[in-house]
Amino acid sequence: MSINELIKGWDGEYLVVRYERAAEAWIFIAVHSTRLGHPTGGTRMKVYDAPEEGLRDAQRLAEGMTYKWAGIDFGLGGGKAVIALSRPLDEAERDRLLERHGALIESLGGAFSTGADLGVGPELIEVIRRRTRYALGGSAGDPGPYTSLGVFSGCRAVAAEAFGSRDLAGRTVLIQGLGDVGVPLSRRLAEAGARLKLADMDAARARDLSGQYGAKVVAPEKVYDEACDIFAPCAVGGVLNEKTIARLSCRAVCGAANNQLEFDDDAERLHARRILYAPDFITNAGGAIALPGLELMGMSEEAVLASIESIEGTLGEIFREARKNDESPLRAALRRAERVLERGPAAR
Ligand code: NAI
Ligand code: PHE
């Protein structure tokens, strides 16, 4: 689809589009919904084959943020920024581009706040912050460890539903992607006695971390065939699709990646195979709770951690409802989020 068609066909509220001539890159800021509050979401930066793919990513990720905030009933709106590169940049070019992205956000006068996402770690948030007040990730730091706590809590809910006990000792968890989230998740799971299998495109990264935990290294292309109790996608989106779901050899999926399902229907494929799916926008909300919680809302660290750990209870309720209706947990989670969106912001 062309950029024109993508913009016209979208059900979100508005888009900001800018072409950066010097870097030959596009910036898309997609605001999907302000129904619950101020639109807030990370900035993703990566090379795309075509700018249309970057725009589509921004739109889907912004929609995901709407459901993330609604699913945990947090009074913020859904938005996301994507910097679609046409080629890799050197450090100086990259920093100039990120500064211009910061200036663009600042020019919106607080209409959108951002933070870290794939390709924009906490150190690059610092570069964006040179030019805008609307970038989270300053005092709260890196969202990855908070997100990993949410995914870990999600694994407990999954274990309770799929195996009858929240205890993760002896359970085999396969983590795809060992970055900001995957690394602290590995540590938490190892401490809880889980057996780890680890995969990353960066083979040295997988080898080093596996050495620390006595884990098995799995080649990235073998991930979908590898037997495990829980598969934890913590790399890129779209990894659960018609082809990969047919290959999966796990009892449950619970990970951090945004938009793990290529299409919503893929949740039905998982359900048909009796593979329990923890909806990504609930499971990966830890960083989204921590950043605004600590930096905008004055929550204490203890309150933030407790709120993230409550992801276990939220998923437990979603799994119960899905079991009762013999439906995929995605349906139950979307209904839960839609109830909140219909109600509007909670009274404070
Ligand atoms: P990151 O960029 O720090 O790490 C991603 C890792 O995955 C890298 O080590 C990369 O080499 C690896 N990777 C990429 N493609 C792969 C593949 N096909 N197979 C195996 N490994 C692959 O990213 P981060 O921050 O850890 O985020 C991971 C995912 O979780 C992303 O989808 C992100 O949108 C999502 N997420 C992250 C949050 C955070 O707090 N960082 C919060 C919510 C969601
Ligand atoms: N990008 C992460 C997410 O998708 C963390 C984040 C949340 C960053 C909210 C900024 C704002 O959840």
Condensed to tens digits (0 to 9), the pLDDT of residues 294-324 reads 998 899 999 999 999 999 999 999 999 999 9
Paired residues of 175 in beta bridges: 198, 232
Protein residues with CB under 6 Å of any ligand 1 atom: 116-118, 143-144, 147, 176-182, 199-202, 205, 220, 234-237, 256-258, 284, 287
Specify the pairing of strand 43-47 against strand 39-40: unpaired
Confidence of residue 348 (pLDDT cuts 50, 70, 90): low
For the cut 70, the answer to whether the pLDDT of residue 10 exceeds it is: yes
Condensed to tens digits (0 to 9), the pLDDT of residues 253-301 reads 999 999 999 999 999 999 999 999 999 999 999 999 999 999 988 999 9
Taking the C-alpha atoms of residue 136 and residue 40, their distance in angstroms, rounded to an integer, is: 9
Q: How far is the CA of 263 from the centre of ligand 2 (A)?
A: 21
| Pick from 108, 142, 144, 106: nearest CA to 125 | 142
| Pick from 215, 214, 233: nearest CA to 223 | 233
For the cut 70, the answer to whether the pLDDT of residue 168 exceeds it is: yes
Q: How far is the CA of 118 from the centre of ligand 2 (A)?
A: 10
Taking the C-alpha atoms of residue 144 and residue 186, their distance in angstroms, rounded to an integer, is: 12
Condensed to tens digits (0 to 9), the pLDDT of residues 61-120 reads 999 999 999 998 999 999 999 999 999 999 999 999 999 999 999 999 999 999 999 899
Q: How far is the CA of 274 from the centre of ligand 2 (A)?
A: 30
